[in-house]
Chains A and B, each alone.
Chain A
Amino acid sequence: MMENLVYIALFAPFAGSLFSALFGMSPKQTFVGIVASSLLFISFAASATLAYHVYSTGAAVHVTMMEWISAGDLTIPFGFLVDQVSVTMMTVVTLVSTVVHIYSIGYMDHDKSFNRFFSYLSAFVFSMMILVMSDNFAGLFIGWEGVGVCSWLLIGFWYHKADQPREENPSISPSWAANEAFIVNRIADLGMLVGLFIIYWNVGSLQYDVVFAAVPELSGSVLNAAALALFIGAMGKSAQFPLHTWLTDAMEGPTPVSALIHAATMVTAGVFLVIRANPIFSATPEVSFFIAALGTFVALFAASMALVNRDLKRIIAFSTLSQLGYMFAAAGLGAYWIALFHLAAHAFFKALLFLGAGNVMHAMDGELDIFKMGGLKKAMNWTYIYMGVASLALAGIPVFAGFFSKDAIIETAFNEGTYVLWAILVLTAGMTAFYSFRQVFLTFHGKARYDESTLHPHEMYKFVLIAMSPLALLAVIAGFFMGGFQTFVTKLLPDYVMSDHTHHLIWVLTAVVLVFAVGGIWLAYKKYANGLKRDEELENSFIYKLLANQYYIPQFYEEFITKPYAMLSEHMWKDVDMKIVDATVDGIAKFLYKSGDGTRKMQTGNLSNYLNWMALGSVLLLVVAAISAMLS
C-alpha cells in the first residue's frame, strides 16, 4: 500500500509531463494544464498520506524499484527512501508545485507554448522528487542533473527574445540566462561528482545507510574532502557565493518558474543535500563552520544587493539568496532540523511572493521596475494582501512563519557562541525587512507612477487567487507547527536544543531581532509609503552604484573569466584543433585520396599493361621472399 503511494507520488508528475509533451507542439489546450495540475495534486495527496504514515508510525518507507547499475562490486538500485526528511521535502515540493501549476494555467494563458510549458514544469517537479526520494547518492545525482536540465529549459522558455546589452537588461536574454544557470551548475556538479567518487572510493557504496554507517571509520581528511566537494555541489544548486550570479539572472524565465525554482525545486536541493548528508557534515566541524560562515556572508551580501534593486523579481530573488544563506548558516552550525524548517516555511512564503509578483507583472503588462509602479493597492487588493503577508513572513514578524524559523536560526548562531555570525544575521534580518517592504510600498502604495491613460492594471483571475490561498495560509500558520516538526524530524536528524543560557536570554534575543525587523519596515514606510522621492545624490554615490551593479561581479566574471575563456577557446580552435587535430585527420584522408588518384592511372584497360604490372609484382614478391630467406 505505502509502496504504491511512493510510486504514485514520484511518477504522477512524470505522467503529467509525458501527457503534456504529447501536445507540446499543438496550440494551447487548457485541459493539458488541468491534467498536469491534477496529477501534481495526486502526487501531493500521496506525499501527504505518506507524511501522515511516517508521522504516525515513525518508520520510514523504503522501496527498491529495480536494479539499475550492477557492475563488479558496484550495485546501485533505483531505490526510494521516504523518511522524515524526504517526506517533508516531498510534501513541500508537491504542495508548492501544485499551486504553481494551477497558477500557471492563468499566468500562461496567452502564451502560445502553453502545453510545452506544463511538460517542462512537471518534469522539473519529477526531477526534484527523484532528488529528494532517492536512497542513494547516485539517484540524488540523477535528480540533481534532471533539475539542472529542466531549469535550463524553463529559464530559457522564451528563448526567442533577443540579447540586450547588460546596461539595459542585467541578464541579457532568457537563453543567455539559461545557459549561465546551466554552466554554473555544471561547474558545481563537478565538485559534487568528485565528492561522490571520494565516497565510493572509500566506502564502496553510495547507499545512504551504508555510507553514513561507515562515517566513523573514515579518516578526517577523507571526510573533509568529501564534505567540501559535496558542499561545492550544493553551492552551485543553492547559488551560494561565488556561484550565485545565475539565480537572479534566472528571473528571465516565466514567473511561475521563478516561484518553483526558488521555493520548491532547484535551490533548496543544496540545503537538502547538506541536511541529508548530515552525518558527514557533523563529522567535519571545519567544513561545517565554513558552510555557516559562507551562509552568513551570503545572507548579508544578497540582502545588501536587494536594498537598491529596482526589479521586482530580482529583489525577491536576492531575498531567496539571502534566506538560503540563513539555511546554510543553520545547517553549518549543526541545527539541521531548523534549516529544514526554514526551508519549508521559506518555500511557502517565497512561492507566494513570486506568484504575487507574477500577478503584478501580469497586471503591469510585463513591467518589473518598481519605480514605475505604485498605487496598485486599489486595483489588486488580493495580491496586495498576499504579498503583504508573504513579506511579513519574510521579514520575520511574530505569528508569521518566517518569524519562528528565522529567529531559531539567529538564536542558533548566538547559542553556538559565534557572535559575529549572530550580529550579521540580525543586521541582515533588518535589511530583509527593509527591502521587502520597500518593494511592497513602492508597488502598492503611493500614487501611480505609470501612464494611467494607457495601462489599466487588473486583478488576476479568481481561480488563481484561490489557488494561492493555501500558501498564504501556510505563510501565516506554518510557524505554529514548529514544535511538532521538531519532534517529527529529530527522529532522524540530530536534535538541536538551545542551552539554558540562551533559553534564559531568549526574550532579549527575540526582541533584538524584532527591533531590527520592525525598524526595517518602519524605515521603508517612512521612505516609500507616500510615494517615491528619488535622491539623486544617494543614487549616484559609490556604494549605491556598487550595490545596484551587484558589486560588479557579473562584469568581473565576464571580463576575467568569460572573455579570457572565449579567447582561449578561439585560440584552441584555430591553432590546436584546426592546425593539429583536424590537419592530421585531413592529412590521412588527403594522402589516401591522392594515392588513389595517382594509382588510378594504372588502370588503362590494356591487358598488356596489366600483365606488365603483374610481372613486376611477382618479381618484387620474389625479391622480398629471397631477401627474407637470406636474412633468416
Chain B
Amino acid sequence: MIGLSHYLIVSALIFSIGLMGVLRRRNLLMLFFATEVMLNAVNIAFAAISHYYNDLTGQMFAFFIIAIAASEVAVGLGLLIVLYKKYGSLDLDDLASMKG
C-alpha cells in the first residue's frame, strides 16, 4: 500500500534533486529547470498532504503554484533571451559583473 510517507519521500527526493541542480548548475536555463523541479516537488507534497487530510486547500495551493510558475517561466525566459542576446552566453561564471 502506498501511503503518505512514500509521497513525501518522493517529494523530498525530487526537491533535493532540484536543489542540487540549483547549487551545481552554471547555466541559467538549467537553473530555471531546477527551480521548476523544486516547485513540482512541493506540489507533490501539497497534493499528498491535502489528500491525506481530506482538505482541498493544499491542492488549490498546488494549482496556484503551477499557474504562477507558468507566468514566471514566461517572464523569466523572456529575460533570458534578452540576456543571451546581450552577452551571448547564459553561463553564470561569465555573467559575474558585480564582484565585490
The chain A residues found within 8 Å of chain B, CB to CB, are 600-608, 611-612, 615
Contact B22 A615 (CB under 8 A): yes
Closest to B24 in A: A608
CA distance A602 to B25 in the complex (A): 19
The chain B residues found within 8 Å of chain A, CB to CB, are 19, 22-23, 25-26, 28, 31, 92-93, 95-100
Contact A605 B26 (CB under 8 A): no
Contact A615 B26 (CB under 8 A): no
From A603, A608, A615, give the contact of B100 (CB < 8 A): A603
Residues of B within 8 A of A604 (CB): 96, 99-100
Residues of B within 8 A of A606 (CB): 92-93, 95-96, 99
Residues of B within 8 A of A608 (CB): 23, 25-26, 92-93
| 13 A-B contact pairs sorted by A residue (CB < 8 Å) | A600-B100, A601-B100, A602-B100, A603-B99, A603-B100, A604-B100, A605-B98, A607-B92, A607-B95, A611-B22, A611-B31, A612-B23, A615-B22
Contacts A604-B100, A611-B22 supplied; 10 other A-B pairs, CB < 8 Å:
A603-B99, A605-B98, A605-B100, A606-B99, A607-B31, A607-B96, A608-B93, A612-B23, A615-B19, A615-B23
CA distance A612 to B22 in the complex (A): 8
CA distance A606 to B99 in the complex (A): 7
Residues of A within 8 A of B97 (CB): 605
Residues of A within 8 A of B31 (CB): 607, 611
Residues of A within 8 A of B23 (CB): 608, 611-612, 615
Closest to B93 in A: A606
Closest to A600 in B: B100
CA distance A602 to B100 in the complex (A): 8
Residues of A within 8 A of B96 (CB): 604-607
Residues of A within 8 A of B28 (CB): 607
Closest to B94 in A: A606
Closest to A603 in B: B100
CA distance A606 to B95 in the complex (A): 7
Nearest-neighbour CB distance to chain A for B4, whole angstroms, equals 20
CA distance A611 to B19 in the complex (A): 10
Residues of B within 8 A of A600 (CB): 100
6 shortest A-B CB distances, which residue pairs? A603-B100, A605-B99, A605-B96, A605-B98, A606-B96, A608-B92
CA distance A604 to B94 in the complex (A): 12
Residues of A within 8 A of B22 (CB): 611, 615
CA distance A615 to B93 in the complex (A): 19
CA distance A611 to B22 in the complex (A): 7
CA distance A240 to B97 in the complex (A): 78
Closest to A608 in B: B92
Residues of A within 8 A of B95 (CB): 606-607
Residue among B19, B26, B92, B95 with max Cβ neighbours from chain A (10 Å): B92
CA distance A608 to B31 in the complex (A): 9
Nearest-neighbour CB distance to chain A for B19, whole angstroms, equals 6
Nearest-neighbour CB distance to chain B for A600, whole angstroms, equals 6
Residues of B within 8 A of A602 (CB): 100
Residues of B within 8 A of A605 (CB): 96-100
CA distance A615 to B24 in the complex (A): 12
Nearest-neighbour CB distance to chain A for B42, whole angstroms, equals 14
Residues of A within 8 A of B26 (CB): 608
CA distance A600 to B99 in the complex (A): 10
CA distance A608 to B28 in the complex (A): 9
Closest to B97 in A: A605
CA distance A612 to B28 in the complex (A): 14
CA distance A615 to B96 in the complex (A): 19
Nearest-neighbour CB distance to chain A for B47, whole angstroms, equals 23
CA distance A603 to B25 in the complex (A): 19
CA distance A608 to B23 in the complex (A): 7
Nearest-neighbour CB distance to chain A for B12, whole angstroms, equals 13
Residues of B within 8 A of A603 (CB): 98-100
Residue among A600, A604, A608, A611 with max Cβ neighbours from chain B (10 Å): A608
Closest to A611 in B: B22
CA distance A606 to B19 in the complex (A): 17
Closest to A599 in B: B100
CA distance A568 to B81 in the complex (A): 74
Residues of B within 8 A of A601 (CB): 100
Nearest-neighbour CB distance to chain A for B8, whole angstroms, equals 16
Residues of B within 8 A of A612 (CB): 23
Residues of A within 8 A of B99 (CB): 603-606
CA distance A606 to B25 in the complex (A): 12
Residues of B within 8 A of A607 (CB): 28, 31, 92, 95-96
CA distance A602 to B28 in the complex (A): 20
Closest to B98 in A: A605
Closest to B34 in A: A611
CA distance A604 to B97 in the complex (A): 9
CA distance A117 to B63 in the complex (A): 89
Residues of A within 8 A of B25 (CB): 608
Closest to B100 in A: A603
Nearest-neighbour CB distance to chain A for B26, whole angstroms, equals 6
Nearest-neighbour CB distance to chain B for A596, whole angstroms, equals 11
CA distance A601 to B100 in the complex (A): 7
Residue among B22, B25, B28 with max Cβ neighbours from chain A (10 Å): B22
Residue among A604, A605, A612 with max Cβ neighbours from chain B (10 Å): A605
Residues of B within 8 A of A615 (CB): 19, 22-23
CA distance A294 to B31 in the complex (A): 94
CA distance A604 to B95 in the complex (A): 11
CA distance A615 to B28 in the complex (A): 17
CA distance A300 to B28 in the complex (A): 100
CA distance A608 to B92 in the complex (A): 7
CA distance A265 to B95 in the complex (A): 80
CA distance A354 to B39 in the complex (A): 98
CA distance A604 to B19 in the complex (A): 21
CA distance A612 to B31 in the complex (A): 12
Nearest-neighbour CB distance to chain A for B2, whole angstroms, equals 27
